[in-house]
Amino acid sequence: MDEWIADIQFERISPVMRLVKKFIFNPLANHLPAAWWKTWLREGQSELALANWNDPGGWRSMVISYEGNPEKPWDKMLVKGGTIPMALRNRRRLASRLIARLLEQADHDPAHAMCLGAGPGLIIMDAMRAAKKNSVATLVDISSDAFDFGLAEAKRRGLSDRVKYIQSDVRDVKQMLDRPIDVVKMIGIFEYLDDEHIVTILEALATMMNPGTSIVFNSISDRHGTNQFFRNVFGLHMHHRSPERIEALLAPAGFGEFRRYREPLGVYTVVVGTKSATGKGLV
Ligand SMILES: C[S@@+](CC[C@H](N)C(=O)[O-])C[C@H]1O[C@@H](n2cnc3c(N)ncnc32)[C@H](O)[C@@H]1O
Protein backbone atom coordinates (compact mmCIF):
# COMPACT_ATOMS: atom_id res chain seq x y z
CA MET A 1 0.00 0.00 0.00
CA ASP A 2 3.01 2.32 0.03
CA GLU A 3 2.12 3.28 -3.52
CA TRP A 4 -0.97 4.94 -2.02
CA ILE A 5 1.20 7.63 -0.46
CA ALA A 6 4.28 7.63 -2.70
CA ASP A 7 3.56 10.97 -4.40
CA ILE A 8 2.51 13.03 -1.34
CA GLN A 9 4.43 16.30 -1.00
CA PHE A 10 5.35 16.41 2.69
CA GLU A 11 6.89 19.29 4.64
CA ARG A 12 10.43 18.46 5.77
CA ILE A 13 13.12 19.99 7.99
CA SER A 14 16.73 20.15 6.78
CA PRO A 15 19.40 18.42 8.91
CA VAL A 16 20.91 21.82 9.80
CA MET A 17 17.55 23.22 10.92
CA ARG A 18 16.96 20.06 12.98
CA LEU A 19 20.16 20.79 14.90
CA VAL A 20 19.25 24.47 15.32
CA LYS A 21 15.84 23.45 16.70
CA LYS A 22 17.31 20.80 18.97
CA PHE A 23 20.06 22.92 20.50
CA ILE A 24 18.68 26.48 20.32
CA PHE A 25 14.96 26.93 19.54
CA ASN A 26 13.49 24.05 21.53
CA PRO A 27 15.47 24.73 24.75
CA LEU A 28 14.46 28.41 24.52
CA ALA A 29 10.80 27.47 23.95
CA ASN A 30 10.83 24.97 26.80
CA HIS A 31 12.89 26.82 29.39
CA LEU A 32 12.09 30.51 29.10
CA PRO A 33 9.47 31.23 31.78
CA ALA A 34 5.95 30.40 30.57
CA ALA A 35 4.75 33.77 31.95
CA TRP A 36 7.08 35.57 29.51
CA TRP A 37 5.80 33.56 26.55
CA LYS A 38 2.20 34.17 27.57
CA THR A 39 2.78 37.94 27.81
CA TRP A 40 4.55 38.08 24.42
CA LEU A 41 1.89 35.97 22.72
CA ARG A 42 -0.97 37.93 24.31
CA GLU A 43 0.55 41.27 23.36
CA GLY A 44 1.28 39.96 19.85
CA GLN A 45 -2.38 38.85 19.59
CA SER A 46 -1.37 35.32 18.57
CA GLU A 47 -4.48 33.54 17.26
CA LEU A 48 -2.88 30.14 17.81
CA ALA A 49 -2.23 30.92 21.48
CA LEU A 50 -5.71 32.37 21.97
CA ALA A 51 -7.33 29.32 20.35
CA ASN A 52 -5.40 27.00 22.67
CA TRP A 53 -6.10 29.05 25.77
CA ASN A 54 -9.83 28.93 24.97
CA ASP A 55 -9.82 25.21 24.10
CA PRO A 56 -6.43 23.45 24.46
CA GLY A 57 -5.79 21.33 21.36
CA GLY A 58 -9.27 22.10 20.05
CA TRP A 59 -10.45 22.23 16.45
CA ARG A 60 -9.75 25.94 15.95
CA SER A 61 -6.02 25.56 16.68
CA MET A 62 -5.97 22.57 14.27
CA VAL A 63 -7.52 24.68 11.51
CA ILE A 64 -4.98 27.49 12.07
CA SER A 65 -2.16 24.95 11.74
CA TYR A 66 -3.73 23.12 8.78
CA GLU A 67 -4.28 26.32 6.82
CA GLY A 68 -0.69 27.35 7.57
CA ASN A 69 -1.26 30.94 6.52
CA PRO A 70 -1.60 33.12 9.62
CA GLU A 71 -1.31 36.91 9.74
CA LYS A 72 0.22 37.75 13.12
CA PRO A 73 4.06 37.66 13.36
CA TRP A 74 4.18 35.17 16.27
CA ASP A 75 1.78 32.88 14.42
CA LYS A 76 3.83 33.06 11.24
CA MET A 77 6.81 31.78 13.23
CA LEU A 78 4.93 29.14 15.23
CA VAL A 79 2.62 27.86 12.49
CA LYS A 80 4.95 27.95 9.51
CA GLY A 81 8.16 26.93 11.29
CA GLY A 82 6.96 24.97 14.33
CA THR A 83 7.53 21.23 14.14
CA ILE A 84 4.08 20.26 15.44
CA PRO A 85 2.12 22.47 12.99
CA MET A 86 4.26 21.19 10.10
CA ALA A 87 3.70 17.61 11.25
CA LEU A 88 -0.04 18.31 11.56
CA ARG A 89 -0.15 19.37 7.91
CA ASN A 90 1.75 16.20 6.98
CA ARG A 91 -0.73 14.15 9.02
CA ARG A 92 -3.64 15.79 7.22
CA ARG A 93 -2.16 14.89 3.81
CA LEU A 94 -1.38 11.34 4.90
CA ALA A 95 -4.74 10.63 6.55
CA SER A 96 -6.84 12.12 3.76
CA ARG A 97 -4.98 10.13 1.12
CA LEU A 98 -5.36 6.85 3.03
CA ILE A 99 -9.05 7.47 3.70
CA ALA A 100 -9.67 8.32 0.02
CA ARG A 101 -8.18 4.99 -1.07
CA LEU A 102 -10.09 3.07 1.63
CA LEU A 103 -13.38 4.68 0.52
CA GLU A 104 -12.64 3.56 -3.04
CA GLN A 105 -12.36 -0.03 -1.80
CA ALA A 106 -15.87 -0.06 -0.27
CA ASP A 107 -18.08 -2.70 -1.85
CA HIS A 108 -21.21 -0.54 -2.02
CA ASP A 109 -22.24 2.92 -3.17
CA PRO A 110 -21.97 5.48 -1.69
CA ALA A 111 -19.11 4.58 0.63
CA HIS A 112 -19.65 5.80 4.19
CA ALA A 113 -17.01 7.35 6.47
CA MET A 114 -17.67 8.06 10.12
CA CYS A 115 -15.44 10.68 11.78
CA LEU A 116 -15.23 10.66 15.54
CA GLY A 117 -13.97 13.82 17.24
CA ALA A 118 -14.36 15.31 13.79
CA GLY A 119 -14.09 19.04 14.46
CA PRO A 120 -15.18 20.75 11.21
CA GLY A 121 -14.18 17.67 9.17
CA LEU A 122 -11.50 19.13 6.89
CA ILE A 123 -9.62 15.83 6.54
CA ILE A 124 -12.66 13.84 5.53
CA MET A 125 -13.70 16.51 3.04
CA ASP A 126 -10.20 16.34 1.50
CA ALA A 127 -10.60 12.55 1.26
CA MET A 128 -14.11 12.68 -0.23
CA ARG A 129 -12.97 15.12 -2.91
CA ALA A 130 -9.94 12.95 -3.73
CA ALA A 131 -11.75 9.58 -3.79
CA LYS A 132 -12.76 8.23 -7.19
CA LYS A 133 -15.99 6.90 -5.73
CA ASN A 134 -19.16 8.45 -4.40
CA SER A 135 -19.10 8.82 -0.61
CA VAL A 136 -20.96 10.31 2.34
CA ALA A 137 -19.71 11.15 5.83
CA THR A 138 -21.15 11.28 9.33
CA LEU A 139 -19.17 13.69 11.51
CA VAL A 140 -19.49 13.32 15.26
CA ASP A 141 -18.16 15.73 17.84
CA ILE A 142 -19.00 16.29 21.48
CA SER A 143 -18.99 20.03 20.77
CA SER A 144 -20.99 21.68 17.99
CA ASP A 145 -18.64 24.71 17.91
CA ALA A 146 -16.98 23.62 14.68
CA PHE A 147 -20.13 22.67 12.76
CA ASP A 148 -20.97 26.09 11.25
CA PHE A 149 -17.38 26.44 10.06
CA GLY A 150 -17.52 22.87 8.70
CA LEU A 151 -20.84 23.38 6.91
CA ALA A 152 -19.56 26.56 5.25
CA GLU A 153 -16.46 24.65 4.13
CA ALA A 154 -18.61 21.76 2.85
CA LYS A 155 -20.73 24.21 0.85
CA ARG A 156 -17.63 25.84 -0.62
CA ARG A 157 -16.43 22.40 -1.78
CA GLY A 158 -19.83 21.26 -3.11
CA LEU A 159 -20.20 18.62 -0.40
CA SER A 160 -23.11 20.03 1.66
CA ASP A 161 -25.52 17.22 0.81
CA ARG A 162 -22.92 14.53 1.55
CA VAL A 163 -21.96 15.43 5.13
CA LYS A 164 -24.04 15.08 8.26
CA TYR A 165 -22.94 16.57 11.62
CA ILE A 166 -23.98 15.00 14.90
CA GLN A 167 -23.30 16.46 18.33
CA SER A 168 -22.61 13.49 20.56
CA ASP A 169 -20.06 11.79 22.74
CA VAL A 170 -18.45 9.16 20.52
CA ARG A 171 -19.50 6.50 23.04
CA ASP A 172 -23.19 7.22 22.39
CA VAL A 173 -23.10 7.32 18.64
CA LYS A 174 -24.39 3.84 17.88
CA GLN A 175 -28.09 4.69 18.09
CA MET A 176 -27.65 7.51 15.58
CA LEU A 177 -26.23 5.37 12.79
CA ASP A 178 -28.50 4.84 9.82
CA ARG A 179 -26.19 3.00 7.42
CA PRO A 180 -23.19 0.63 7.60
CA ILE A 181 -19.76 2.20 8.00
CA ASP A 182 -16.82 1.52 5.68
CA VAL A 183 -14.15 3.67 7.32
CA VAL A 184 -13.92 5.16 10.81
CA LYS A 185 -11.59 8.13 11.17
CA MET A 186 -10.18 8.98 14.60
CA ILE A 187 -7.47 11.49 13.78
CA GLY A 188 -6.36 13.97 16.42
CA ILE A 189 -8.26 12.49 19.33
CA PHE A 190 -6.38 9.63 21.04
CA GLU A 191 -3.56 11.97 22.16
CA TYR A 192 -6.06 13.86 24.32
CA LEU A 193 -7.61 10.77 25.95
CA ASP A 194 -6.37 8.41 28.67
CA ASP A 195 -6.15 4.66 28.07
CA GLU A 196 -9.41 3.88 29.82
CA HIS A 197 -11.34 6.38 27.71
CA ILE A 198 -9.85 4.96 24.49
CA VAL A 199 -10.79 1.41 25.49
CA THR A 200 -14.41 2.43 26.25
CA ILE A 201 -14.72 4.17 22.88
CA LEU A 202 -13.24 1.22 21.04
CA GLU A 203 -15.56 -1.24 22.73
CA ALA A 204 -18.55 0.85 21.60
CA LEU A 205 -17.10 1.23 18.12
CA ALA A 206 -16.46 -2.48 17.71
CA THR A 207 -20.19 -3.19 17.95
CA MET A 208 -20.91 -0.80 15.06
CA MET A 209 -18.30 -1.98 12.56
CA ASN A 210 -18.59 -4.97 10.27
CA PRO A 211 -15.65 -7.35 9.69
CA GLY A 212 -13.25 -6.05 7.04
CA THR A 213 -14.05 -2.37 7.61
CA SER A 214 -11.25 0.05 8.47
CA ILE A 215 -10.25 2.40 11.26
CA VAL A 216 -7.73 5.21 10.71
CA PHE A 217 -6.07 6.79 13.74
CA ASN A 218 -2.77 8.35 14.75
CA SER A 219 -0.13 8.20 17.44
CA ILE A 220 2.12 11.09 18.48
CA SER A 221 5.75 10.80 19.57
CA ASP A 222 7.60 13.40 21.65
CA ARG A 223 10.20 13.82 18.87
CA HIS A 224 8.90 17.36 18.31
CA GLY A 225 10.92 18.28 21.44
CA THR A 226 8.57 21.03 22.62
CA ASN A 227 6.28 19.21 25.05
CA GLN A 228 7.16 21.50 27.94
CA PHE A 229 6.33 24.59 25.89
CA PHE A 230 2.95 23.22 24.80
CA ARG A 231 2.13 22.06 28.30
CA ASN A 232 3.17 25.19 30.20
CA VAL A 233 2.32 27.89 27.68
CA PHE A 234 -0.67 26.47 25.75
CA GLY A 235 -2.06 24.19 28.46
CA LEU A 236 -1.88 21.13 26.21
CA HIS A 237 -1.54 17.81 28.01
CA MET A 238 -0.92 15.25 25.30
CA HIS A 239 -0.49 11.51 25.75
CA HIS A 240 2.58 10.48 23.77
CA ARG A 241 2.19 6.81 22.85
CA SER A 242 3.88 4.55 20.33
CA PRO A 243 1.73 3.07 17.54
CA GLU A 244 2.27 -0.35 19.19
CA ARG A 245 0.84 0.95 22.47
CA ILE A 246 -2.36 2.18 20.81
CA GLU A 247 -2.66 -0.97 18.73
CA ALA A 248 -2.50 -2.99 21.96
CA LEU A 249 -5.44 -0.97 23.29
CA LEU A 250 -7.45 -1.64 20.10
CA ALA A 251 -6.69 -5.35 19.71
CA PRO A 252 -9.05 -6.67 22.44
CA ALA A 253 -11.96 -4.88 20.74
CA GLY A 254 -11.27 -6.91 17.57
CA PHE A 255 -9.00 -4.64 15.53
CA GLY A 256 -5.86 -5.94 13.80
CA GLU A 257 -3.81 -6.09 10.56
CA PHE A 258 -2.37 -2.69 11.47
CA ARG A 259 -0.43 -0.80 8.79
CA ARG A 260 1.68 2.17 9.89
CA TYR A 261 2.49 5.30 7.91
CA ARG A 262 4.93 7.70 9.57
CA GLU A 263 5.13 11.28 8.33
CA PRO A 264 8.71 12.42 7.63
CA LEU A 265 9.14 14.59 10.74
CA GLY A 266 8.58 11.49 12.85
CA VAL A 267 5.97 13.18 15.08
CA TYR A 268 2.79 11.51 13.85
CA THR A 269 2.21 7.98 12.63
CA VAL A 270 -1.11 7.35 10.91
CA VAL A 271 -2.28 3.77 11.37
CA VAL A 272 -4.89 1.83 9.40
CA GLY A 273 -6.47 -1.12 11.21
CA THR A 274 -9.07 -3.66 10.14
CA LYS A 275 -12.06 -4.89 12.09
CA SER A 276 -11.95 -8.66 12.49
CA ALA A 277 -14.93 -11.00 12.74
CA THR A 278 -15.04 -10.44 16.52
CA GLY A 279 -17.87 -8.11 17.59
CA LYS A 280 -21.18 -7.44 15.91
CA GLY A 281 -21.43 -4.80 13.20
CA LEU A 282 -24.43 -2.79 12.06
CA VAL A 283 -25.46 -4.69 8.93
C1 LIG B 1 -7.91 18.09 18.27
S2 LIG B 1 -9.55 18.15 17.69
C3 LIG B 1 -9.34 17.22 16.20
C4 LIG B 1 -10.32 17.58 15.13
C5 LIG B 1 -10.13 16.82 13.83
N6 LIG B 1 -10.27 15.38 14.02
C7 LIG B 1 -8.81 17.16 13.17
O8 LIG B 1 -7.92 16.32 13.09
O9 LIG B 1 -8.66 18.30 12.76
C10 LIG B 1 -10.33 16.95 18.76
C11 LIG B 1 -11.85 16.98 18.67
O12 LIG B 1 -12.34 15.85 19.40
C13 LIG B 1 -13.55 16.25 20.07
N14 LIG B 1 -13.81 15.30 21.16
C15 LIG B 1 -13.06 15.09 22.26
N16 LIG B 1 -13.61 14.11 23.04
C17 LIG B 1 -14.73 13.68 22.39
C18 LIG B 1 -15.73 12.70 22.67
N19 LIG B 1 -15.68 11.95 23.77
N20 LIG B 1 -16.73 12.53 21.78
C21 LIG B 1 -16.77 13.29 20.65
N22 LIG B 1 -15.86 14.23 20.33
C23 LIG B 1 -14.85 14.43 21.19
C24 LIG B 1 -13.26 17.69 20.48
O25 LIG B 1 -14.46 18.41 20.71
C26 LIG B 1 -12.46 18.22 19.27
O27 LIG B 1 -13.29 18.86 18.31
pLDDT along the chain (283 residues), means of 10: 90 96 96 97 97 94 95 95 96 98 95 96 98 97 95 98 93 78 96 94 89 97 94 95 97 96 97 82 43
Q: Do 210 and 252 reside in the same domain of the chain?
A: yes
Q: What is the pLDDT of residue 163?
A: 98
112 shares its domain with 79: no
Q: Tell which of 85, 111, 139 closes a domain.
A: 85
Counting atoms of ligand 1 from 1, which one is nearest the CA of 118? 6
- Are residue 110 and residue 221 in the same domain, yes or no? yes
With respect to residue 125, please indicate whether it lies within any of the assigned structural domains.
yes
**Domain presence at residue 282:** no
The domain spanning residue 107 has which CATH number?
3.40.50.150
The verdict on 81 and 176 lying in the same domain is: no
SS3 state of residue 218: strand
Whether 271 and 246 have beta carbons less than 8 Å apart is answered as yes
Q: Are residues 80 and 105 in the same domain?
A: no
Nearest CA to ligand 1 atom 23: 117
User: How far apart are the CA of 22 and the centre of ligand 1, in A?
Assistant: 30
Ligand 1 centroid distance, CA of 198 (Å): 13
pLDDT at residue 1, rounded to an integer: 64
pLDDT of residue 277: 79
How many Å separate Cα 111 from the centre of its chain?
21
Q: With respect to residue 3, please indicate whether it lies within any of the assigned structural domains.
A: no
Which three-class secondary structure state does DSSP give residue 167? strand
Q: Is residue 94 part of a domain?
A: yes
Residue 90 lies in a domain: yes
Instruction: Please indicate, yes or no, whether residues 225 and 118 belong to a single structural domain of this protein.
Output: yes
Pocket test for ligand 1, best of 148, 189, 238 (most atoms within 8 A of CB): 189
Say if 221 falls within a structural domain. yes
Q: Are residues 175 and 240 in the same domain?
A: yes
Residue 283 maps to a domain: no
Give strand ranges (E) for the chain: 111-116, 135-141, 163-167, 183-186, 214-220, 255-262, 268-275
DSSP letter string, 123-156: HHHHHHHH-SS-EEEEEEES--TTHHHHHHHHHH
**Ligand 1: which atom is nearest the Cα of residue 193?**
16
Closest residue CA from atom 8 of ligand 1: 188
Are 53 and 109 in the same domain?
no
In angstroms, rounded to a whole number, what is the distance separating the alpha carbons of residues 144 and 165? 8
Amino acid symbol at 27:
P
Considering 39, 56, 85, which residue would you say is the last residue of a domain?
85
Number of domains into which the chain is organized: 2
96 with 72, same domain: the answer is: no
Global pTM value: 0.94
Question: 8 lies in a domain?
Answer: no
Residues near ligand 1 with C-beta < 6 Å?
57-59, 62, 117-119, 123, 140-143, 146, 169-170, 187-189
Separation CA 160–CA 100 (nearest Å): 18
Residues 60 and 124 in one domain: no
Q: How many helices (H) and strands (E) does the chain have?
A: 13, 7
**Ligand 1, residues 141, 148, 185: which to mutate, most atoms within 8 A of Cβ?**
141
**122 CA: nearest ligand 1 atom:** 9
Tell me which residue of 110, 174, 127, 121 sits closest to 144, measured CA to CA: 121
| Cα–Cα dist 131/99, whole Å | 8
The three-state secondary structure class of 182 is coil
Are 45 and 179 in a shared domain? no
Q: Are residues 71 and 111 in the same domain?
A: no
Distance in Å, CA 117 to ligand 1 centroid: 3
End position of a domain, from candidates 85, 108, 127:
85
For atom 3 of ligand 1, the residue with the nearest CA is 188
Domain hosting 143: range is: 86-275
